[in-house]
Each structure stands twice: as C-alpha cells, then as structure tokens.
Structure 1
Amino acid sequence: MAKYKLEYLWLDGYTPVPNLRGKTQIKEFADFPTLEQLPYWGFDGSSTQQAEGKSSDCVLKPVAVYPDSTRINGVLVMCEVMMPDKVTPHPTNFRATILDDPGAWFGFEQEYFFYQDGKPIGFPEFGYPAPQGPYYTGVGFSNVGSVARQIVEEHLDICLNAGINHEGINAEVAKGQWEFQIFGKGSKKCADEMWVARYILQRLCEKYEIDIEYHCKPLGATDWNGSGMHANFSTEYLRTVGGKEYFEKLMAAFEKYKDEHIAVYGPDNHMRLTGLHETQSIDKFSYGIADRGASIRVPHSFVNDGYKGYLEDRRPNSQGDPYAIASRILKTVASVEV
C-alpha cells in the first residue's frame, strides 16, 4: 500500500466567472486509484460563495482522475459540487446538467496573458512595447522573453503526463499572450480536461510569481488583441454525412440562437467582439471560408470534403466556461433536423 496525495479540484460559486479551488487529502491504495475508488469529500461552502455559514457543508463528487507528475504519488481529481445528500447537484454545478454526446468532438483554443506587477510580461513600466506583428508564433528574447516559453513547456509536459489531450502551444498576437489547445471526444471530457489544464497552469505559475490573466480584453480599448477560447466542434453526423444543405440549415440555427450563444460565451465579450482584431461584431452573425473575422470560420477542408468535418466558433472568450460553451453548441446542433 502507498499513500497518495489526492488534490480535489472544483469550481466555486463566484460569478460571472467561477474560480478553481483545490485541497489535498491523503489516502492509501495498492495502485494508482481508479475513479470508483475515490471517496466523496466535503468543504466549507461559506468560503466559496456556495453556502451560508449556518449551513456550510458542500460535497465533492469525483468525476475524473489524472496523474500529477509534480508530486510523488500525486493525483488530480476533478469534482462536481453536490448538496449534502450527495445526490442533488449544487446550483453552481453546471456540469451535472449540460448536454453531453460522446460523438461530439470539441477542441478548445485557450488564449491568455502572463501578468506580473499589473501588466503583461514583457511590457515596459510605462506605455507599450513595439506594436503587434512579431509576437505571434515568435521566437527570440525580444519577442517572447525568457520565462514564458519555460512555463508553457513545463505546462505541456505536466498535462501530457496527466493524460490530458493537450494538442499544442504557441505564442499569440500580443506580447505576453500565449495559447494552448485541448481536444476531447464528448463535451464533459473535453471541458474537464480544459479546467484541469487551467488549474495546472495557474498552480505552475505560483513559483514564477506570475499570474494568468484570462480576461478577454485586459488591455481595454487599445490596438492590442483580446483573448478568445475558440471552440472547434463536430458531431458524428457532421463528420460522416454533412452536406451543403445541412450546413446552411445549421448556420441558420446558429444565427437564430446568436444571443443565447453570446450569453454563455464569457463575460465582457462586447469589449473583444468589436469587429476588429479578427472578430465579428457582437451584434452580428456571419460565417466564411477561412475567415478569421467571421463568427464561424469554415475550414477549406470542410468545403473540399463535401461540407463535412469540423467548424470553428470564434466567439467564445478566454474566460468562458467550456461546459456551458459546449452545451450551448450541442443545443443548437440538436435543433436542426437531419
């Protein structure tokens, strides 16, 4: 028997963007624990805006488990928050109620800024660095600095060691801005892995005294890109049948439910979706082949393969909840008759 360090992770009750929380318990197992072996656990919901002090007990239900290579016998345990009866999902537990389809594939592109001392790393004490241009997929100290690449490489290794389907990294358009991509089959699986990857990144940055800024437009109304979390998606039907007629009906549904999508695609999106910096205006819906300024970007491969494959919704922002984003996309897809 070995003692394992179980880091239970959950989303708190803060709005409009929940925070990740985590605490550790030690349990003995003969081997790396399976999900079924992991016990429920409690926490003080009055400290996370999930309960009142006079009745503060909340329950953590393990839903996914990952090896944690940063610790000896480390385990990362993604959890749902439940009421004390261990049956009723807590009102903040959106994961328990979302649509899920194992045949639906999602790929999220998480953009973010590294922040230190109130500004993106690489920014001077006053003013701004040289304009955007050389930073995207850049190389060299003047473009990406000295510490960012070290962090993203460490983050990549930890995620891969955890079995998270991390698909890539790159420096982004603004200085101090980076991106990583997570792909998963099934909305819950992909969203679980995105939240755990976010947790790993934030925890990793503690030792560098750097914070992760997820706000979609942290530099405000300036000529600097904001941060998105573009959602690439496909369903079994879209991959295997598709067709132009179905695609046009699908785009009509996305336009019909435009406001419902924007409502769950992350707060302050009006600051980012301005029609500039590779975005469509928040009050409009459009789609276009290889058009990075459209609401939905349609890859050339999709059209060339007979309108089959995946599509990219570019409207979700970097603060968005991947559970909510994936669920809303599936609801709109389900509204289209095949």
Structure 2
Amino acid sequence: MASVSSSSHLSKVVRQKYMSLPQGGKCQVTYIWIDGTGEGLRNKTKTLDTEPAGIEDIPEWNFDGSSTYQSMGSNSDMYLVPVCMFRDPFTLDPNKLVLCEVLTHNRLPAETNHRHRCNEVMEKVKEHSLWFGMEQEYALLGIDGLPFSWPPNGFPAPQGDPAKPKTSTRQMNLRNGRNKRDLIIVSLWSK
C-alpha cells in the first residue's frame, strides 16, 4: 500500500474555513468533459465576474488535448463548448458545473464526443419524442475484495429467476443510501 503524507489529508474544519470565504460576487464555473480514453472525466475551473443566467453566458474555453489523450503534439488545441449547466452541489451557489462537448483544433467533434452524434440523431427524430436511458452497473465488494454473497472459495450458485433478485439487507441499505445520495444531487442540480 502506498504511503500518504498525513499533511495531505485536509480536515473538514480547514476545508469549511476556505469554502466559507466570500467570493466577492464572482462565480466559479467547473467545465467537465470526457477525455480521450472515452471513460475518464476531466475538469478545469474558470472564475467569472458574475453568475451566468444561462448556458449562453458561459464562454467556450480551450485546453491542450495532448495531455488528455485527445490529440498529438501538433495542433493540440481542443475547445470546450458548454452544453448544460447545473448548480454546483459541492461548492454551492453561485458556482456552477458545466458539461461540455469537446471540439478539435479545426472545430470538429473530438473522437470521444459521443454527445454530438447522439444530438444529431435525436434532432432528426424529435417529433417521435424518443427517450433513452443509461444503466449504471456496479458491484459491492466486501473488505476481502470479493463481491458480497460470494463464497470465499469459488463462484456463487446460479442466480435462478432473474425477475426475482435476491439482495441482502446490508446490500439493500448500501444501494438505497447510494440512490438517496443520487436523488439529492439531482434535486440540487435541477433547482
């Protein structure tokens, strides 16, 4: 296990002191995008003089794509195009989280900018009021590193009827806690 300096752990008291400092009417906007791996999230923060009223008030920004696996050394400028803005539930009002599309140096969608293509398709069929959803799969691991309910040696028995999932009380409490956290975040963002 890697050793971590004790000074690297920021106490909640110290963090709260800095979080409660006045911002002087300024707004911190955190730009968020998917990097060149297609799985990693990146972010950078810009301080604006005023709180943006809408997404149109958030300026485009750029970054060096060679450090995020999104371009080679030459022509590595990438552009962040804001597409959706939320209240920041971590640093609170007036700060914002902004989801961005990424464009290449010649203003074409980056390879991992899947939202751009999805948006084109959805615009073509918008009269059909289509919906799509995502399912986040995850496994809860015990302190032994094995998924809950797995025997210490080998594999679990077949699951049986998938329409009747079997979940332990502990798993249900963990899952419901996670769902509640997600609902709180969504409610903060939607206000």
- TM-score by structure 1 length? 0.40
- Give deviations 1:81-106, integer Å, cap 9, x for gaps: 11235x43334333333312333321
Matched, 1:127 2:154: yes
Match of 1:136 in 2: 165
Match of 1:38 in 2: 58
Q: Given the superposition, is the C-alpha separation of residues 45 and 120 from structure 1 closer, same or farther in structure 2, using an over 3 Å criterion?
A: farther
| Aligned 1:166-185 pairs, distance under 5 A | none
Match of 1:67 in 2: 87
Q: Given the superposition, is the C-alpha separation of residues 111 and 91 from structure 1 closer, same or farther in structure 2, using an over 3 Å criterion?
A: closer
User: Does the 8 A contact of 1:122 with 1:145 survive in 2?
Assistant: no
Identity %: 28
Paired residue type of 1:156? L
Deviation of the 1:36 alpha carbon: 0.8
2:116 alignment partner, one of 71, 96, 101: 96
Paired residue type of 1:45? G
Q: Given the superposition, is the C-alpha separation of residues 109 and 19 from structure 1 closer, same or farther in structure 2, using an over 3 Å criterion?
A: closer
Q: Given the superposition, is the C-alpha separation of residues 3 and 70 from structure 1 closer, same or farther in structure 2, using an over 3 Å criterion?
A: same
Deviation of the 1:54 alpha carbon: 3.6
Deviation of the 1:147 alpha carbon: 2.9
Query: Hey, what's the Cα distance between the residues in 2 that align with 1:115 and 1:96?
Result: 33
Structure 2 SS opposite 1:60: strand
| Aligned 1:1-338 pairs, distance under 5 A | 2-14=25-37, 18-73=38-93, 74-85=95-106, 87-97=107-117, 98-101=120-123, 102-103=126-127, 104-116=129-141, 119-121=146-148, 123-129=150-156, 131-132=158-159, 136=165, 138=167, 140-141=169-170, 144=171, 146-163=173-190
User: Does the 8 A contact of 1:113 with 1:120 survive in 2?
Assistant: no
Paired residue type of 1:83? T
- Report the structure, 1 or 2, having the larger strand content: 1
Q: Given the superposition, is the C-alpha separation of residues 40 and 109 from structure 1 closer, same or farther in structure 2, using an over 3 Å criterion?
A: closer
- Give deviations 1:92-150, integer Å, cap 9, x for gaps: 33333331233332141514013547543554554345653697384622xx2553322
Deviation of the 1:33 alpha carbon: 4.2
Number of residues of Structure 1 aligned to a counterpart in Structure 2: 158
Alignment RMSD, CA only?
Answer: 3.2
- Give deviations 1:201-235, integer Å, cap 9, x for gaps: xxxxxxxxxxxxxxxxxxxxxxxxxxxxxxxxxxx
Runs of at least 5 residues in structure 2 that lack an aligned partner in the other structure: 1-23
Paired residue type of 1:81? V
CA radius of gyration, larger in: 2
